[in-house]
Structure 1
Amino acid sequence: MRLNDFTLRGSELAVNGVLRIETESLGGNTSSSDRAKNGIKPKSLTVSLVITFENSADLSALIQQAESVDENGKLTVFDIVDETARSMNIRQVQFNEAFNVRKIPEKQAWRINFTLSEYLSIPEKVEQRQQTQTAQQQSANGEAVAAGSTEEQQGTENYTGFEKVLKFADDALAPDEEEGADAVT
């Protein structure tokens, strides 16, 4: 496995991929199996390898890569070269979650486990593109925000459809003090 110009050195390299599809049950307390899709999360790779005590410099170099940040102080984004990553269509990754180092005394080595998360996944890129297109369409259409008091705009924007009906009924049955005062005078 390669991360940019860095090659992982060790033995017993194992790379496992995970694709999380978030869903939510729509059945409530029933036996229904209907589910709502909440989105596809970025893929991740769980990496495991063994580095011998003799090659402790390889472990130090790997930890240095995991801790590395760019000029803005954000975790480094790595171009990845690995068969599992390629088959899952993962091109760029960042170190994520825990980086575990466990001694294996009988082998005079360490077992290293860490997670690499996909950077700018395909669903994430699609979502960003859709948001950009929506913003461009709104500015191209020249949509203007309706003039009015801030209270009026906030009042109508914060109500759901049912709450708007209730607000209308409430206003009809018990008008505001200002409206009532106008009606009396």
Structure 2
Amino acid sequence: MRLNDFVLRGSEITVNGVLRIETESLGGNTSSTDRAKNGIKPKALTVSLVIAFNKSVDLSELLQQAESVDENGKLKVFDIVDDTAKAMNIRQVQFNEAFNVRQIPEKKAWRVNFTLSEYLSIPEKAEQRQKTQTTQQQSANGEAIAASDTEQQDGTETLTGFEKVLKFADDALAPDTEESAGAVA
């Protein structure tokens, strides 16, 4: 595995991929199996490897990569070269969640586990593109958007014919409390 120019060194390297599809049950307390899609989350790669005690420099260099930040203080984004990442269509990653180092005394080595999360996943890019298009449609050449048809400039509402009938019925059934208080006094 390679992250930018950094080559991951160690033995017993395993890379597992995860794709989380968030859903929510629509069945409530019933036995229904209907589910609502809440979105596809960025893919993640969990990496596990063994680094010998006498290669502690390799562990230190890997930790430096995990802790590295860009000029804005954000976690560094890495271009990844790995078979599992390629198969899952993951091109860029960031270190995410826990970075675990555990001693294996009988092997005189460390078991290292960490997670790399996809940076700017395909669903995330599509979502950003959609937001940009919506914003562009709403702001016609930087001019303010006119108030809706049902609102006047002074803040009072103009009602449609049907809304006027409903308001008349509402006022007849439950007059404003101010008017009622004046009538009682």
1:156 counterpart residue number: none
What letter is aligned with 2:13? Answer: L
Residue 174 (str. 1) matches residue 157 (str. 2): no
Which residues of 2 match residues 34-49 of structure 1 at below 5 A? 34-49=34-49
Give the length in aligned residue pairs. Answer: 166
Structure 1 Cα separation of the partners of residues 47 and 79 of structure 2: 16
Identity %: 74
Structure 1 Cα separation of the partners of residues 124 and 154 of structure 2: 36
Structure 2 Cα separation of the partners of residues 36 and 172 of structure 1: 41
Structure 2 Cα separation of the partners of residues 86 and 170 of structure 1: 66
More off after superposition, 64-73 vs 139-148: 139-148
Task: List, as ranges, runs of 4+ consecutive aligned residues in structure 1 with deviation greater than 4 Å.
Answer: 168-172
Which residues of 2 match residues 22-171 of structure 1 at below 5 A? 22-140=22-140, 143-146=145-148, 147-149=153-155, 169=170
Structure 2 Cα separation of the partners of residues 172 and 124 of structure 1: 51
Structure 1 Cα separation of the partners of residues 4 and 106 of structure 2: 33
What letter is aligned with 2:147? Answer: V
Q: 1:82 to 1:176 in 2, by over 3 A?
A: farther
The Cα offsets for residues 128-180 of structure 1, whole Å up to 9 and x where unpaired, read as 0000001111113863235444xx79xxxxxxxxxxx9xx9489613253xx3
What letter is aligned with 2:127? Answer: E
CA drift at 1:73: 0.4
- In the superposition, the TM-score normalised over structure 1's length comes to 0.82
Q: Give unmatched runs, 5+ long, in structure 1.
A: 154-164
CA drift at 1:44: 0.3
CA drift at 1:27: 0.6
Structure 2 Cα separation of the partners of residues 121 and 103 of structure 1: 34
CA drift at 1:70: 0.4
Structure 2 Cα separation of the partners of residues 170 and 42 of structure 1: 53
Q: Give unmatched runs, 5+ long, in structure 2.
A: 158-165
1:98 counterpart SS class: strand
Structure 1 Cα separation of the partners of residues 71 and 173 of structure 2: 60
Structure 1 Cα separation of the partners of residues 77 and 16 of structure 2: 19
2:13 counterpart SS class: strand
